[in-house]
Structure 1
Amino acid sequence: MIFAVWVPLLMPLLAVPAARRLAESLPPRAAAWLLTGCAAVLAACTAAALGLLAVAGALRLPPVAAFGHLQRGLPGTDAVVTVPAAPIAGALLACGAIALARGALRHRAELRAARRTADGHALAGDLCVLPDTQPDAYALPGRPGRVVVTAGMLRALPSAEREALFAHERAHLAGRHHLFLLTVALAAAWHPLLRALRAPLAYALERWADEAAAARVGDRQLTARAIGRAALATRTHPAGPPRPGPALAATTGPVPRRVAALLSPEPPAARPRSRSVPGAHRLIAAALLACVAFSAAGAVDAAADLHQNVETAQGEHPGR
């Protein structure tokens, strides 16, 4: 356990850069799933490692050992490490749990407040029009989801571009993209390095919605113009009411890069695999898979080792 338990805590040092690099070579939808999945697995392994460290150190305390019916001390030579590391791991575990709960509650409160505001204005199907003069539009998740747009944004775009913008926001709602961002935000509560996955994930989600909108309206150039004009309108007018945290909007992120991608001759998913995933990217994918596998294996091995040591200390034959 003395070695395996540290693997999940250190693997994000390698896995996060690899995931960011690999996501750049994948279609937006695949990139979003990759980044979110890596964040969730690495966070779970980190939480497990912290818990194992805390338990291993606590079991060496006489009151805890008596409560666990240990007839003798835990075997092994890792006491010099686990005993001082246990309170630190316990404190980090408590901080992570508190941050996780606060993040989830804040997300829920912001979503409820935003929906109360939206429901108090004019609705046309899933479209909610706010009377604000500042241009803005965003996808407000919920049941049902809403596409919120201000009167200023409606005046800033011609009819065809409005439909492309609405298609973009509806793609966010259909894909439940806010849950991807929430997963990575909560994962970062367990390991601070996972915060570095949020920016590439937000870009992948916007590109996912861009491509969905372009397919919906059947015109990539129109979609690019709509996103560019909407982003320009929001930047050339005074800031309006604050946008809800869980909301996603077409005007966020590196808009010029997204517009350039939409103006490319073909969508990323249609490009030949040999160009989109060259040999170097395959090596990165293999390295990332190895990092995630080692992280999970380290947590499982440490848990099995601790369980065997507890059985030995209880006077039971290991494996029985």
Structure 2
Amino acid sequence: MTTPRVKGYSPDVIAHDDPAAWPAALAVAVLLTFAVTATARHTMQRAGALWSAALDAVCLPGPSAVVITQDHRADAYTMPSLPGRIVISHGMLETLDPRGHHILLAHEQAHLRHHHYLFISLTHLAAAANPFLRPLAHAVDFTLERWADEHAARHVGDRRAVAETVAKAAVATKETRSHRRHATAALGVLGRGRTSEAVPRRVAALLKPAPHNPPAQLAIAAVLLAATSLCALEAAHDLHEFLELAHTR
């Protein structure tokens, strides 16, 4: 006896060519539901954070991209928006010398110029869908701060000075007990969420020679990206052929 077709597809063909035990199907359905729910929830939270940051940036006084606040607590951060604003407290300026001011500004400008908040949004969205990617999201957070550090080092031409500035900013922030009261989408010189444990690693990296990208590493990354893309295309092609088969029989 032939099973009636469902919306033009033959359940007999589907069951014969792509059998799936109901426990496995149930487990996949639960995981998929969890992933979709977590992704939607994170997307709404992130969109709200970016919108709040954009509103805060617009409401900051003055037309300049750099805003100096009278807060005595040491703080410096970037508000993602169009085009974005850099906020530096009076307490942070008092902590650093003029060269440190240039380094701090170069660091924050790197966050704006290279749209680092987009990298963070995408990686944390992926981590929300797949919790196994959370270490990758944290690694991206750290790498973006290193990116901004290296940008500042190239700007001033002195890696040790950048390392000293990052260390001074971390100490001053801890001593003045600065707490952010702005949108969580903001990026600061000490990274997201005041992750002070990453500061020693950044300082140690700045005290070493500038990193470089060997052609072998770039080639490996390109091969992995190509292989991943080919696997995704092959899976999509197989699914298309299977659905065509189920539809024609």
Normalised by the length of structure 2, the TM-score is: 0.81
RMSD: 3.1
Q: Secondary structure at the match of 2:145?
A: helix
1:309 aligns with: 242
State the identity %.
35
Distance 1:141-1:282 versus aligned 2 partners, 3 A rule: closer
Q: How far does the alpha carbon of each residue in 1:132-171 deviate from its partner, in whole angstroms, 9 at most, with x for none?
A: 3221111111101111112221222222211210110001
1:141 aligns with: 80
1:228 aligns with: 167
Q: How far does the alpha carbon of each residue in 1:273-297 deviate from its partner, in whole angstroms, 9 at most, with x for none?
A: 49xx7xxx799x48x955972x555
Q: Please, which of 138, 142, 153 is the counterpart of residue 199 of structure 1?
A: 138
Paired letter, 1:307:
H
Structure 2: segments with no counterpart, 5+ residues: none
8 Å Cα contact 1:227/1:251 also seen in 2: yes
Distance 1:128-1:182 versus aligned 2 partners, 3 A rule: same
Instruction: Map 1:113-128 to 2 at 5 A.
Output: 113-123=52-62, 125-128=64-67
Q: Tell me the distance in 2 between the aligned counterparts of 1:116 and 1:312.
A: 52
Paired letter, 1:165:
L
2:14 aligns with: 74
Paired letter, 2:238:
D
Structure 1: segments with no counterpart, 5+ residues: 1-61
Q: Please, which of 192, 202, 205 is the counterpart of residue 261 of structure 1?
A: 205
8 Å Cα contact 1:132/1:240 also seen in 2: no
Instruction: Map 1:40-55 to 2 at 5 A.
Output: none
Q: Secondary structure at the match of 1:268?
A: coil
Aligned residues: 242
- TM-aligned CA deviation for residue 78 of structure 1: 4.3
Matched, 1:131 2:70: yes
Moved more, 252-261 or 163-172: 252-261
- TM-aligned CA deviation for residue 180 of structure 1: 0.9
8 Å Cα contact 1:70/1:310 also seen in 2: no
Normalised by the length of structure 1, the TM-score is: 0.65
Q: Secondary structure at the match of 2:176?
A: coil
Q: Secondary structure at the match of 2:86?
A: strand
Distance 1:291-1:108 versus aligned 2 partners, 3 A rule: closer
1:44 aligns with: none
Instruction: Map 1:1-320 to 2 at 5 A.
Output: 65-70=5-10, 72-74=12-14, 76=16, 78-81=18-21, 83-123=22-62, 125-252=64-191, 253=195, 254-264=198-208, 266-269=209-212, 273=214, 285=220, 289=223, 293=227, 296-316=229-249
Paired letter, 2:53:
A
Distance 1:151-1:88 versus aligned 2 partners, 3 A rule: same
- TM-aligned CA deviation for residue 106 of structure 1: 1.8
Q: Tell me the distance in 2 between the aligned counterparts of 1:146 and 1:77.
A: 57
Q: Which has the higher contact order (CA 8 A, sep 6+)?
A: 1
